[in-house]
Chain A
Amino acid sequence: MLELNGLTRRYGSNLAVADVDLKVEMGAFVGVIGRSGAGKSTLLRMINRLSAPSAGTIRFDGRDVGALKGAALRAWRADCAMIFQQFNLIGRLDVLTNVLMGRLSHASAMRSLLRLWSDVDRAIAFVALEQFDIAHLASERAENLSGGQQQRVAIARALVQEPQIILADEPIASLDPRNTRVVMDALGAINRRYGITVLCNLHSLDLARSYCDRLVGMAAGRVVFDGAPRDLTDDVARALYGIEADDAAGERQAAPEPRSPALARAVAVA
């Protein structure tokens, strides 16, 4: 179980994450929702220890993750794989090597630096690539792939880490609707098949409702909602997103009322 206690991150006088308490059961698919700047990314980055907390503790199965150093810290990072909005692949290297980055903590330093991966590692990478239907792209340069394909490579990289948790930071924010579904389905499949816990930052309430079995709403660095998707009423959503609530829910598609009288006349004439 992942436990956050009073987790806080300050940037100067700015509180990005403020006093967050959270317990995540293993095997869950948790959506972290809220508007941009609510502290969702910082929260995930702190769990992976890419950002250092200003205060508070992170515990995993009772172990204090916040105090890890050196090899133990690297092992923890391999244990909680990260997926980024901008994919963060190595554009100039081929897809297979990018996926094998997920095996770095299992391979010896000499072998990995010379890129002499073991056949088992290679097979693991191919199994992951096949699951997302991109094994035929293994020898392509990562930067030549489309956004949806790159994100699937990134998920494959996360999967071959054999992690306990996957932290996905707005994984679909730069993708089109079809690829959005492909990528979210991939995360869901990993969650079900391997029982890997997924913590996923999302903008869209619709997606969060349909893929997650628990939602955590953040606003101004604080957790303001924590519950099942069906408990997320419109009122709560409005509190989370302010006037953006309708946009985020994607419900009302009506055109906005024209503001200026001249425009209103023009519309009326048309």
Chain B
Amino acid sequence: MKGPVPSVRADAVADMARLMAAYPAGFGNRRRAAGLLLLAAAVGLFTGFAMWRLDFSLARILSGLGRLADFSLMMFPPSAGGRFWIYLQSLGETVAIAFLGTLSAALLAFPFSFLAAKNVIPNVFVHFGARRVLDVIRGVDTLIWALLWVSVVGLGPFAGLLAIACSDFGALGKLFSEAIETADRRPVDGVASSGGSRMQQVRFGVLPQVLPVIGGQCLYYFESNTRSATIIGIVGAGGIGVHLAEQIRVLNLQDVSFLVLMILAAVTVIDVVSTRLRTALVGRRAAPLG
């Protein structure tokens, strides 16, 4: 062969006109660029409108910054004011509420999520119905559930536990069923082909795939609930939130910052532990062979 060394680039450049004529759909960025620009413009316009409608004002943030500084100064130094043991006990209560609440929500959501998964229950009425049940439960916020249960079982941590169990049943049920739906079908076919029943297909084809995801979601919800359990406490459903609400009301900001730090420490500990647990759940992959 004469001339320059053959390369795909040289081939392409020499043949450019014919290629562009033969595959017009494959060339040109104009449509894609126009689409991207339009999208950016639409997002920009909507953001602008929402800011205008919600009275967004940088000036107000700037003028308020001084007060924020005052507030922050009043928080220093954090101090328990001699109530450390009471606070610690309440923090324990909060963690207990979050743990039991998440556990019962997960235990309820786990079987229910299979009903809501399209690939497990092909019957449209069953999985559609199960989905709507989850929607309705999830539609009511944890805080509303807490108010509801406080009026049913009275003030205290039990109401908080029930509130978390209810609202997270909806949330976890949805997340679990979505994890189940994205599961690979091939292992299920493998079990079915060797004569496994529907139940066995789910047990051995689906479950091993989704268990790490579901476990990770439960652990995250435990951590997140430790934080939201403090808010539930504000409406009287027990835990450290009760103290937090009280100290904010009397502007005892040193105690507030102390309580916040305690919650932060608890959440960090939970995060560290759950990271370990999740790694154990996912398991280490074997080294690839040659």
- In contact, B20 and A119 (Cβ under 8 angstroms): yes
Residues of A within 8 A of B (CB): 11-12, 14, 16-17, 36-43, 45, 51, 96, 114-117, 119-120, 122-128, 135, 138-139, 159-160, 162, 193-195, 218, 221
Query: Which 4 pairs between the two chains have the least Cβ-Cβ distance?
Result: A39-B290, A11-B287, A123-B12, A42-B290
Known contacts: A116-B29, A139-B25. The answer to whether A123 contacts B290 by CB under 8 A is no
Q: Which residue of A lies closest to B36 (CB)?
A: A114
From 1 to 22 in chain B, residues with beta carbon under 8 angstroms from any chain A beta carbon are 5-9, 11-13, 15-16, 19-20, 22
Q: Which residue of B lies closest to A42 (CB)?
A: B290
Task: Beyond A128-B8, A138-B23, list 12 extra A-B contacts (CB 8 Å).
Answer: A38-B290, A45-B288, A114-B32, A116-B33, A119-B16, A123-B15, A125-B26, A126-B26, A135-B22, A139-B25, A162-B8, A195-B6
- In contact, A159 and B29 (Cβ under 8 angstroms): no
CB 8 Å contact bits of B29-67 with A (1 = contact, 0 = none): 100110010000000000000000000000000000000
Known contacts: A96-B26, A122-B27. The answer to whether A36 contacts B287 by CB under 8 A is no
- In contact, B290 and A16 (Cβ under 8 angstroms): yes
12 A-B pairs (CB sep. < 8 Å): A16-B287, A16-B290, A38-B290, A41-B290, A114-B32, A117-B29, A119-B27, A123-B16, A124-B8, A127-B11, A193-B6, A195-B5
For residue B84, give the distance in angstroms from its CB to the closest CB of chain A.
Answer: 48
Q: Which residue of A lies closest to B28 (CB)?
A: A119
Assembled-state Cα–Cα distance A116/B28 (Å): 8
- In contact, A124 and B12 (Cβ under 8 angstroms): yes
Inter-chain contacts of B5 with A (CB < 8 A):
195
Q: Which residue of B lies closest to A51 (CB)?
A: B288
Interface range on chain B (Cβ under 8 Å from partner): 20 to 34
For residue A168, give the distance in angstroms from its CB to the closest CB of chain B.
Answer: 15
Assembled-state Cα–Cα distance A178/B7 (Å): 28
Inter-chain contacts of A16 with B (CB < 8 A):
287, 289-290
Assembled-state Cα–Cα distance A18/B249 (Å): 71
Assembled-state Cα–Cα distance A117/B28 (Å): 8
- In contact, A194 and B8 (Cβ under 8 angstroms): yes
Assembled-state Cα–Cα distance A189/B242 (Å): 76
Inter-chain contacts of A194 with B (CB < 8 A):
6-8
Inter-chain contacts of B29 with A (CB < 8 A):
116-117
- In contact, A126 and B36 (Cβ under 8 angstroms): no
Which residue of the partner chain, among A14, A128, A138, contacts B26 with CB atoms under 8 Å? A138
Assembled-state Cα–Cα distance A39/B8 (Å): 32
Q: Which residue of B lies closest to A138 (CB)?
A: B26
Assembled-state Cα–Cα distance A197/B11 (Å): 19
- In contact, A115 and B290 (Cβ under 8 angstroms): no
From 263 to 290 in chain B, residues with beta carbon under 8 angstroms from any chain A beta carbon are 287-290
Known contacts: A127-B19, A162-B8. The answer to whether A37 contacts B289 by CB under 8 A is yes
Assembled-state Cα–Cα distance A45/B7 (Å): 25
Assembled-state Cα–Cα distance A116/B29 (Å): 6
Assembled-state Cα–Cα distance A115/B12 (Å): 19
- In contact, A126 and B19 (Cβ under 8 angstroms): yes
Assembled-state Cα–Cα distance A138/B25 (Å): 9
Assembled-state Cα–Cα distance A96/B29 (Å): 14
Inter-chain contacts of A11 with B (CB < 8 A):
287-288
Inter-chain contacts of A12 with B (CB < 8 A):
287
Q: Which residue of B lies closest to A194 (CB)?
A: B6
Which residue of the partner chain, among A40, A51, A135, A162, contacts B7 with CB atoms under 8 Å? A162
